[in-house]
Amino acid sequence: MNAVPKKARTSRLARRDRFRSFGRRGDGVKTARERAEAKRAEKLKLVREQVESGSLVIREMTDEERRRFPRRSPQPKRPGRR
């Protein structure tokens, strides 16, 4: 016979099942990176629609603007924090 009472055994099993499913990702759950990528894709879609409709115009920089706003040098890669 088991030393653990039946009630305690069932609640332990229920907890185990609850925590087992906790680590899995459902269809609706996205990581932070996935949310950021989806947000970026939505913004790009909006820009494309605005360009097509004519409400947004993307033009070349003038020579004066290029002198005032030179290209930035690439930022050095930072080591990971983990």
In a domain, 54, yes or no: yes
* Angstrom distances, CA of residue 62 to CA of 54, 65, 70: 21, 5, 12
In a domain, 21, yes or no: no
In a domain, 79, yes or no: no
Domains of the chain: total: 1
pTM over 0.85: no
What is the rounded distance in angstroms from the CA atom of residue 33 to the CA atom of residue 44? 16
Residue type, position 66, single letter: R
In a domain, 35, yes or no: yes
Phi, psi of 12 (to 5 degrees): -65, -40
Each residue's pLDDT expressed in tens, for the chain with a length of 82 residues: 556 666 555 666 666 665 565 555 566 788 999 999 999 999 999 999 999 999 999 999 999 999 999 998 888 888 877 7
In a domain, 36, yes or no: yes
In a domain, 81, yes or no: no
In a domain, 33, yes or no: yes
Contacts of 41 (CB under 8 A, 6+ apart): none
Residue 49 lies in domain = 29-69
